[in-house]
Structure 1
Amino acid sequence: MHTRASNTITIHRRASSPASRRQRGVALVVALVLLVVITLVGLAAIRGTLLQNKMAANLYDRQVAFQAAEAGMRAAMAKLASDQTIARECDQASGGGLCYANPFNDPNLPAGKIINVTTGNDPTQFDAGALAAGQPQYVVEHLGTGVGSGGQQQNATCNSYGAPCVPQQNGSKYYRITVRSAPPDEIGNRSVVFLQTMVKLGS
């Protein structure tokens, strides 16, 4: 009877030293710190990009509103040249009262004196288009009548010393036009631009 010897393989495991375990722990901590730093840098870059996009969008929106307000100013001047009855009376000598610097902030401003610029091709009209927040509005105010000096080449007034002038019999009427690019209560968070100018009608 033959007995077959079995081959036995013995595996000797080498126990890791405490120093090697500490090295692996330090490497893991360093890797985690680097991962956190890279994540923070990425988030900062994303935040900066989003902020730049918002700034560019706000600037573009304001430019569109500014162009709409300018067009509204031209329409208001064209309308005033043909119809002075649209003006609100701010001349105390004519029975008017004191008017706000911005008439849109005046709680006593009659609603009918806020004029909407209609769409069309007439000089008194303007189409703001789809990019604008809305149609511009304006308020015209009559500030009074003033008597100036005669002559187109004369720079001095009649009150200046030695100014040879002939007082005008019919004084010029002075108007103030205030325009806003769109009604603020209808456009949400879109930009609103206000423009104001003085207009003299008459000789």
Structure 2
Amino acid sequence: MKAIATRQQTGAALLISIIMLLIITVLALSSMRGSILQEQMTANQYDYQLAFQAAEAALRRGEQLRRTNAGFVLLPIGPTPPIDNWRNLRANFITVTMPTGHGLAAQPQVLTEELDFDSSNNTSRIRVTAIGFGARAETQVVLQSIVAL
């Protein structure tokens, strides 16, 4: 009988397969993390767009109501108000009711301020400021326009 030569195995195949499995796991986790980040960015962009559209709708509604003098207490003329005067006047904002079903955290708000009055042609410049909210209350968009009436 012939003796069969046996070699002692070192387990290299097991070690290589464990390393490959570890690399694949790291790649999969990295890919999942990237997908979750993209999903969060998309949700934030959607929330911003909701807030922007609500602010724009409130701004247009505020301009329309100001043209008809309906429902506004116009702030008095003084020295030209600073561009961020609205921050100090939050109590003077009125809420603009939006149709339901938009998923907004709060209804948009609008404020009008008279900047100046030209008595020669009987026109006023009115600054309209609107704040829109997204699905989360911390998502806010502020828009302003100046209207000559």
Coarse TM-score class (shorter-chain normalised): 0.7 to 0.9
Structure 1 vs Structure 2 CA RMSD: 2.7
Distance change >3 Å, CA 66–CA 110, structure 1 → 2? closer
Preserved contact between residue 128 and residue 135 of structure 1 (Cα < 8 Å): no
1:164 aligns with: none
Q: Distance in 2 between matches of 1:145 and 1:71?
A: 26
2:123 aligns with: 172
Q: Which ranges in structure 1 are unaligned for 5 or more consecutive residues?
A: 1-13, 93-97, 119-125, 148-168
Q: Distance in 2 between matches of 1:170 and 1:83?
A: 19
Per the normalisation by structure 2, the TM-score is: 0.81
Task: Considering fraction of residues, name the structure with more strand.
Answer: 2
Per the normalisation by structure 1, the TM-score is: 0.62
2:73 aligns with: 86
Q: Distance in 1 between matches of 2:122 and 2:26?
A: 70
Preserved contact between residue 106 and residue 137 of structure 2 (Cα < 8 Å): no
2:43 aligns with: 57
Q: Does 1:145 align with 2:117?
A: yes
1:5 aligns with: none
Q: Which residue identity does 2:50 align to in structure 1? A: V
Q: Does 1:115 align with 2:94?
A: yes
2:145 aligns with: 197
Q: Distance in 1 between matches of 2:30 and 2:77?
A: 54
Aligned length in residues = 146
Q: Distance in 2 between matches of 1:27 and 1:89?
A: 84
Distance change >3 Å, CA 63–CA 110, structure 1 → 2? closer
